[in-house]
Amino acid sequence: MAETSPRFLSLDVFRGMTICFMIIVNNPGGESFWPLNHAKWDGFTPTDLVFPSFLFAVGNAMSFTMKKYQQMGNGAVLSKIFKRTFLIFIIGYLMYWFPFFRVDQGHWSLSPISHTRIVGVLQRIALCYCFASLMIHYLSTRTVYILSAFLLLGYWVALLVFGDQGAQLTMTGNAGFYLDKWILGDAHMYHGEGLAFEPEGLLSTLPAIVNVIIGYYAGKFIQEKGKGFETVSKLLLTGCLFIFIAICWDAVFPMNKKLWTSSFVFITTGIDLVIISFLLYALEIKSWNKVNWAGFFTVVGKNPLPIYILSEILLIILGWIVLGGKGLPALWTSGFQALVPGKVGSLLFAISFMLVCWLVGYVLDKKKIYIRV
């Protein structure tokens, strides 16, 4: 994701807030408060907003970079899109394979690729970026809107038609589950649910593309209309409309992050639009930033991808440091639990870990190092 223009501080803050919250919910020090947990199946929690907001932020950033593609030849455009897609996808794959080796009774060996997860968070970002970029660059705005509606409605129909009769929206009865088992295989799927099930599966990536597209048009609208009351009001009203559609659709197609249902797309993009409108009002119109609280988030917002990757592998690396028979993360966690037992201690660990990642972002920002893919 490219760095946004300083004229729109709100977009950098939104991106930074998303990454900071993502790090907190992905790295608890134990049992978490309910808002920091994903819904077990149907339903929606604040944590379920994190990944969709990341995709929405990808779309925001695209609204700045895609303008450059209009002056480029067809070959150059395709090269940039596919190169970025490949790099983000392969980084995500290597992140799941990391640390690439294992030790068994003192013998070192390469971790088997045969059991490495193929798709995941970054891989879904890569695929959504790729298809959204191709659609936006090569198709008219009207066609993109129609195709987005087709993705949401078509996905709903696909789940109803091709899943197990009476169990189309269950974990092991939906069409996406069978498609992932057929293409990826059990060994290459996520096993965190106690069985092979891929929450970032191939079929459910189709509606996720719409999160990026809506983020793109929101960013484009902000650039074209400026940071005035009209922009804020229209974004806010659109966000409320999306939330209303989500609530209505939820009655027949429940909000579900793991299936990435179409109602889930509407609830997440609706809330994102409401948040963006508030940030625009607070930062661009009212300038409510006297203590520079926004600066805290822009540190992360300028380097979102490397900070996210760091947050995913840092605890693994720190686990190699063993003191008194315990890895450093275990000591870190137990220290907070000794100070404040239970969920509060878990939250303090998560926040402290986020601050460590933030500090790396701060150093990069001070040195004017912005890592882009």
1 pLDDT exceeds 70?
no
Best CA proximity match to 9, nearest among 302, 235, 274: 302
| In the predicted structure, residue 4 carries a pLDDT above the cut 70 | no
Are residues 35 and 45 in contact, defined by beta-carbon separation less than 8 angstroms? yes
Please report whether residue 373 resides in a domain: no
Helix (H) or strand (E) holding 137: helix 121-138
Q: Which of 255, 270, 287 finishes a domain?
A: 287
The pLDDT score that the predictor gives to residue 6 is 42
Helix (H, G, I), strand (E, B) or coil at 147: helix
Find, among 6, 2, 8, 21, the residue nearest to 59 by Cα: 2
What's the number of domains the chain is made of? 2
Q: Is residue 168 part of a domain?
A: yes
Average pLDDT, the chain: 90
Domain boundary pick from 287, 311, 339: 287
Q: What is the pLDDT of residue 287?
A: 84
Q: Give pTM, 2 decimals.
A: 0.91
Contact 332, 2 (CB under 8 A): no
Dist. CA 55–CA 51, nearest whole Å: 7
Q: How many helices (H) and strands (E) does the chain have?
A: 13, 4
Residue 301 corresponds to which tokens in the numbers above?
């917002």
Output the pLDDT for position 5: 43
List, for residues 267-319, the tens digit of each pLDDT value.
999 999 999 999 999 988 888 887 788 889 999 988 999 999 999 999 888 88
What are the DSSP calls for 210-263, one per residue?
Answer: HHHHHHHHHHHHHHHH-SSHHHHHHHHHHHHHHHHHHHHHTTTS---TTTT-HH
Q: In which domain, by residue range, is 324 found?
A: 1-37+291-368
pLDDT digit string, tens, across residues 109-121: 777 787 889 999 9
- The pLDDT assigned to 336 comes to 86
* Phi, psi of 293, rounded to the nearest 5 degrees: -65, -30
The three-state secondary structure class of 193 is: coil
More reliable by pLDDT, 339 or 133: 133
Query: Among residues of the chain, what percentage have pLDDT more than 70?
Result: 97
For residues 28 and 21, the answer to whether their CB atoms sit within 8 Å is no
- Assess whether 47 and 155 both reside in one domain: yes
Taking only the tens place, the pLDDT of each residue in 282-296 is 988 888 887 788 889
Q: Cα(242)–Cα(5) distance, rounded to whole angstroms? A: 27
Residues 272 and 300 in one domain: no
For residue 3, pLDDT over 50 is answered with no
Q: Tell which of 267, 287, 307 closes a domain.
A: 287
Highest average pLDDT, of 23-37, 182-196, 236-250, comes from 236-250
Clarify whether residues 198 and 266 are in a common domain. yes
Q: Which residue has the tokens 């191939």?
A: 202
Per 3-state DSSP, what percentage of the chain is helix, strand, and coil (rounded to 5)? 65, 5, 30
